[in-house]
Amino acid sequence: MIRFGLKEVDSVQLRFDPLTGAETRINPSRAHRMKQGYGNMLAQTTMEEMGRLSRPGCPFCPDRVEESTSTFPLDMVPEGRIKRRHSLVVPNIHPFAPNHGVVILGDQHFRRPDEFGPELLTDNLLAARDFVRAVVRSRPRSRHPVYILNYMPPSAGSIVHPHSQVWVEHRPVPNLRHILRLSRRYFNRYGRAYWDDLPAKEKHLGERFIGENASLSVLASFAPRGFREVQFIFKGVSSLTEVQDGQAADMAQALRCVLLGYRSLGVGSFNLASFSAGAEETPDHFRLSFRLISRPYPAGVYTNDSGPTEKLYGFRVVDTLPEEVATSIRPYFSRS
């Protein structure tokens, strides 16, 4: 049974994730506090300037990508690299995981959040899926895919040229292991998947539900892990390897709509991360999902959006109510 735990302490809301119980603290007034890393007090590098200045020498631009990137082992990827119309998968030359690839999004070096078109995003997700399938075929012990998209330096993206990362682990990453365990516990207790109940409950309440299409539901997280967090929860799909072309297109269209909403909110940097079951696993208790969070606007100096409470104490502090995030983004989704 879905329960949204919330406590009010003075002007602060303490919210608890319905599945994990993880704590988030929200005080909307913090959004208006003085931030000396913003505004005209300090010279800022605009996003467009950042794009222009970072263009020379970019290893992902079409005039040098062939010479600056390597190829995968031929027993994994016979062609060396995986190509689709708008995406190219190459090895990560500085990996932090096994079977680690980079998926380059198109030829254009710099894009604003509202310039990620549906075809570009669809191809990127499908190219990542194809890479995971190739790894699973050739490296049987590697079963658990991870997909992330870090956009602009505040997201930890080291290269401005849009790209995502995908890799395949021998077991789920630590936080996902915890989520999978709790998802199974919920299913064993109620006979239903938490990931089916959550969108249904949020749609009924209407406060944080943003929209849906044939393949997935979109909602603002009740107890967000990051600023302006939005969840994309697939219907009947558990693993990234299961995603079909039409489902990838639905995910891309939904993400495109949310990024348009992000742009209207002044978001200039973001992270997108997948939560996937293992390849060829179809557990009844779990569904593939993605989480999108905003990061600080790219600038010469900026106030970070995570601090000691997130890094050391195990709870999050954010300044925007999920209900307000849903209200701001919902119109962009409904227009599609």
- Residue range 291-324, pLDDT digits in tens: 999 998 887 767 777 766 676 667 778 888 999 9
Would you state the pLDDT for residue 308? Answer: 65
Torsion of CA 257, 262, 264, 267, to 10 degrees: -150
Q: Is the pLDDT of residue 44 over 60?
A: no
Token reading at 57: 């020498």
pTM of the model: 0.92
Amino acid in position 60: F
- What is the pLDDT at residue 315? 72
Decide: 323 and 223 in contact? Cβ < 8 Å.
Answer: no
In the predicted structure, residue 116 carries a pLDDT above the cut 80: yes
Q: Name the strands in the sheet holding 216-220, side by side, starting at the edge strand that comes first in the sequence.
A: 82-83, 87-91, 100-105, 163-169, 144-151, 269-275, 289-295, 227-234, 216-220, 209-212
Residue 49's pLDDT band (boundaries 50, 70, 90)?
Answer: confident
pLDDT at residue 33, as a whole number: 57
CATH for 5-335, options being 3.30.428.10, 3.90.1170.20, 1.10.10.10, 3.40.50.2300:
3.30.428.10
User: What is d(CA 239, CA 25) in angstroms, rounded to the nearest whole number?
Assistant: 31
Q: DSSP labels for 117-176?
A: -HHHHHHHHHHHHHHHHHHHHH-TT--EEEEEEEESGGGT-S-SS-EEEEEEESS--HHH
| Helix, strand, coil shares, percent, the chain, to 5 | 35, 25, 40
> Residue 171: CB partners within 8 Å, gap ≥ 6?
143, 144, 177
Per-residue model confidence (pLDDT) at position 32? 62
Which one is predicted more confidently, 225 or 45?
Answer: 225
CA distance linking residue 185 with residue 1, whole number of Å: 12
Tokens describing residue 117: 């078109």
The end-to-end CA distance of the chain, in Å, is 32
CB–CB of 288/305 below 8 Å?
no
pLDDT at residue 229 tops 70: yes
Provide the residue type at 111 as one letter: R
Q: What is the mean pLDDT of residues 58-83?
A: 95
State the average pLDDT over residues 209-224.
Answer: 97
Please give the pLDDT value at position 142.
94
Tell me how many degrees the CA angle 284-225-271 measures, rounded to the nearest 5: 90
Residue whose token pair is 């490296």: 139
